[in-house]
Chain A
Amino acid sequence: MRRAYDEELEKLHRQFFQMGNRVNEAIYKSIKAFANHDKELAKQVIDEDIKINEMEHQLEHDCIELIALQQPVTADLRKIITVMKACADLERMGDHAVSISKSTIRVKGNKRNTMIENKISLAGEKIKVMGQEIIDAYIQYDTQKAREIAHKDEAIDTLADEIKKASIDEMRQDPELVLGATDYILVSTYIERMGDYITNISEWILYFETGEIQELNTHHNYS
């Protein structure tokens, strides 16, 4: 019976990989659409998010069924729990790609600021790479890589902070920017949140290998 069970576990792994690729594609497109003011591409991201949600539901359903039918223990149990938790993080990343796309559609026509948009593109590029790396690390259960990726989240946080400050400064100087810059702040927050979800997935990779639930980047400071 072990064989059929192993095949089911392998299938979960494959489905997770496919979902990860979809989410990364959504992130890639949402950043590209934002940088190029491409409303059509942004709409595409929103439409395609339905598929990501379906994939999450399918994964959750399959995990629940495996737990009920196979009564997994040890590494098998950790594998299933890891998929279940990490796919929820992936799904949220997809939702943030949708939010970025909605901002893209909204800001079109508002007054813009190239300096800030460049910073956003830069943060977007970084998050895109992290998104691809985390899926690779997950597939190989590479804990070393997982830690490295989580570490990169600090650079994202710093950039997001810079974007917020720059947006506020620009708004002070030019009230016409208020509409557009509000979305800049929102988008920087979405990207920052994606980084947090990627960190969560890193934590689940560590959990699979070690059996310990741990916090990688803590934000328990007052600023």
Chain B
Amino acid sequence: MSRTTKITVRDLKLWYGDFEALHGVDLDIYEKEITAFIGPSGCGKSTLIKTLNRMNDLVENCRIEGTVELDGKDIYSRKVELNNLRKRVGMVFQQPNPFPKSIYDNIAFGPRTHGIKNKSELDEIVEKSLKQAAIWDEVKDHLDRNALSISGGQQQRICIARALAVEPDVLLMDEPTSALDPISTSKIEELVSELKNDYTIVMVTHNMQQASRISDRTAFFLNGNIIEQDETRKIFTNPSETETDNYISGRFG
């Protein structure tokens, strides 16, 4: 199987003020695969995932060194337009965060920002995105309902649909199921493994079983370093590094 590298991270260092949160990280993310980031809290997983669509730009006193390339092009170059980057690299967060608007307007928000005004075109995008996020059947009869009035699991799928509506290449998910019950979690996992046919997915998770169940590759983070990155089946059956082994099998400290 020949794989295309979608994102290349090289010697990436990141500081929040004086604090160095990432100490020169190298990572390859392959196209149409699910890459999971695992590791204890404060190890840099969320920090790294945020650098992949420059969410860290919003953090004061945050600076980076090193490179992040998307399809071989540096995303931190001056030529890159942020809106455009975030259209290509969408994000879903831990807490479902739909806008306090109708379901329809939530999904249409992105396409509208990117200049689509035509009603029938928007209708089409909304339907397609909700279908891709496996929630169309549940909400199709009340698209005008406030997105905050539906369940947490449904809200999260609305957020995924919202991210898909601008047709990104990459979907970043920062603990997308940690606020959800097991049934909603299983729906999201099912959905994510479907989505990898069309998207490159990067997911931070505290749930190691989740990483083992759905990801193709896993990167293990510890104290701002990536200790090991490999095929998930390798990481979970016979990792190369003792630290990975200890963490995965629950021998901490």
Contact = CB atoms under 8 A, between A and B. Distances in A.
Nearest to B186: A1
B189 interface: yes
Contact of B237 (A1, A3, A4, A68): A68
Interface in B165-202: 186, 189-190, 193
Contacts of B236: 68-69
Given A68-B236, A68-B237, A69-B232, A5 B190 contact: no
Nearest to B237: A68
Given A64-B237, A65-B233, A65-B237, A70 B190 contact: no
A1 B214 contact: yes
A71 B212 CA distance: 9
Contacts of A65: 233, 237
B213 interface: yes
A68 B214 contact: no
Interface residue tally on A, bucketed by range? 10 to 19
Interface of A is mostly: helix
B107 to A, nearest CB: 25
Contacts, number: 27
Contacts of B186: 1-2
B212 A3 contact: no
B119 to A, nearest CB: 36
A71 B190 contact: no
A63 to B, nearest CB: 11
Contacts of B214: 1
Interface of A: 1-5, 64-65, 68-71
Given A68-B212, A69-B212, 8 more contacts: A1-B213, A2-B186, A3-B190, A69-B213, A69-B232, A69-B236, A70-B212, A71-B212
